[in-house]
Amino acid sequence: MNRLLVVVNVLGKMIAVFGLTMLIPLCLALWLDDGAGWVFQESILVTLSCGLIMWLLTRRYKRELQTRDGFLLVVLIWAVLPAFAMLPFLFCLPDLSLSMAYFEAVSGLTATGGTVLTGLDNLPLSINLWRGEIVWLGGMGLIVLAVAILPLLGVGGRQIFKAETPGPMKESKLTPRIAETAKGLWLIYASLTMVCMLAYRWAGMDWFDAVMHAFTTLGLGGFSSHDASFGYWDSPLIELVAIIFMLIAGINFATHFVAWRAKNFISYRFDPELGWFLFIVLASCLGFALYLWFFNIYTDPLTALRYASFNIISVATTTGYSSTDYSLWPIFIPFWMLFLSAFCTSSGSTGGGIKMMRARILYQQVYRELITMMHPNAVTPAKLGKTVISSRVVFAVLVFIFVYIVSIVLMTLVLTLSGLDEMTAFSAAVACINNLGPGLGGIGPSTTYASLTDFQTWICSFAMLLGRLEFFTLLVVFTPAFWRK
């Protein structure tokens, strides 16, 4: 119980700060007079006061956080912040149900990017800005989570990255370590966002769209201010900019950080995920471009390459933009795209899924198993790049991937049980757990999650949190052992 109060103290402070970030859309709303000014004023009022009250009431429990508090804090941040992030949606759109508003906020803060809103082009700009901003803020949190916190907590084999995180991290206290790491990563993240925004503007977006889409590109969050997503512009140049920055954001931010500090590109060469990520994604683009051209879905090879590349990279990096309704392509292609979204992104990025690092360890373990069957006494150490990995980590990775797969199976079963057809149910499970966004069937790229029932919407929100917190962070908090002294 004490643990909860300690964590609520930190959480309260974060909620208050989060409330202040609503000042940005408030300013936009007031400046444009788009009618949503009062929405953000009330939201800030509620959020700030709740945060401050939580903080003040638990002040006397303040102490240095321990590792185990970390699990709880992470879970509460991603489960409770959306309850405040959804306030502008609730106030501005009176028809929106609670489940849908919470879904939209979770989708933003987990950088999933599936939406329940339609008529995006007619929303007040400040509301769209807020949608982009929560993706971006969520992305900030996710990078720090991935690079600094989950490795410390030892979730799903991430402890191998403990040694590689930048900054004076080892063996010091929890909070300053994380703060130090965070600062460096955020600098990179913010700089890349700025560059991306300028590139979008240069390629033909207006200033507002450039800012909003730079937010959701770097966060790999996929929210757009247009119902047609990138189909709105129908511009190869804008799509090219998006492709480049989605690929950049799919790389480990720790690698970007090291490259930036060393002022050279050596770190990219030694990134154990980068090569595989680019190779698999680009080979898929090329292969399916040929396929789409060969089967005359696009008569021109360059058009085929354009549509294949943008949509495949968008799904593989778990961004979730679309430039056409790819669910109408031969079903093999969308299936392969969902498959890619499961494992392509790097472990220190804002992407979802099991991450390339774990996929590589799994692949290697299969190979080791074959060798051991033929030479029962042979010892082949597990490696990632040149680093030898302990059995402990390999176990953690294998178990992680299982829990991932079992979660998809169970979510699919629950959603079909609730009455959803099999294609929508399965793709919703995959798209939410991978934090991808759009699925197939009833939640395909040309439609939204709005058709789901309340129950199904809550399940999808839970699935997004489960995937984003890498299962174990969430599961651990539900074990009785966690709450014992």
Query: Contact region for its own copies (CB under 8 A) — 89-97, 105-113, 316-324, 472-480?
Result: 472-480
Among 52, 278, 362, 450, binds its own copies (CB under 8 A): 362
Residue 369 contact, options its own copies, K ion, none, Cβ 5-8 Å cut-off depending on partner type: its own copies
Among 170, 300, 370, 485, binds its own copies (CB under 8 A): 370
DSSP-assigned letters across all residues of 224-241:
-SSTTGGGGT--HHHHHH
- Ligand-binding annotation for 372, yes or no, is no
Asked if 325 interacts with its own copies (CB under 8 A), we say no
Burial string for 329-367 (b: 16+ CB within 10 Å, else e) reads beeebbebbbebbbbbbbbbbbbbbbbbbbbbbbebeee
Asked if 462 interacts with its own copies (CB under 8 A), we say no
CB of 231 to its own copies, least distance (A): 25
Summarize as ranges the residues that interact with K ion (CB under 5 A). Answer: 112-113, 222, 318, 320, 437
Asked if 163 interacts with its own copies (CB under 8 A), we say no
Tokens 């979008």 sit on residue: 200
Which residues pair with residue 383 across a beta bridge?
Answer: 388
Q: How far apart are the C-alpha atoms of 338 and 328, rounded to whole Å?
A: 14
Residues 6+ apart with CB under 8 A from 401: 354, 358, 362
CB of 472 to its own copies, least distance (A): 6
Asked if 296 interacts with its own copies (CB under 8 A), we say no
Q: Which is nearer to its own copies, 154 or 236 (CB)?
A: 154
Q: How far apart are the C-alpha atoms of 481 and 478, rounded to whole Å?
A: 9
DSSP-assigned letters across all residues of 340-408:
HHTT-S-TTSS--SS-HHHHHHHHHHHHHHHHHHHSTT-----EETTEE--HHHHHHHHHHHHHHHHHH
- Ligand-binding annotation for 115, yes or no, is no
CB of 401 to K ion, least distance (A): 20
- The DSSP element (H or E) to which 47 belongs, if any, is helix 37-57
Residue 68 contact, options its own copies, K ion, none, Cβ 5-8 Å cut-off depending on partner type: its own copies
Q: How far apart are the C-alpha atoms of 254 and 271, rounded to whole Å?
A: 10
Which residues pair with residue 388 across a beta bridge?
Answer: 383
Residue 222 contact, options its own copies, K ion, none, Cβ 5-8 Å cut-off depending on partner type: K ion
Asked if 36 interacts with its own copies (CB under 8 A), we say no
Asked if 49 interacts with its own copies (CB under 8 A), we say no
Give the binding site for its own copies (CB under 8 A).
68, 153-155, 330-332, 335-336, 339, 362, 365-366, 369-374, 376, 391-392, 394-396, 398-403, 405, 409, 412-413, 416-417, 421-423, 472, 475-476, 479, 481-482
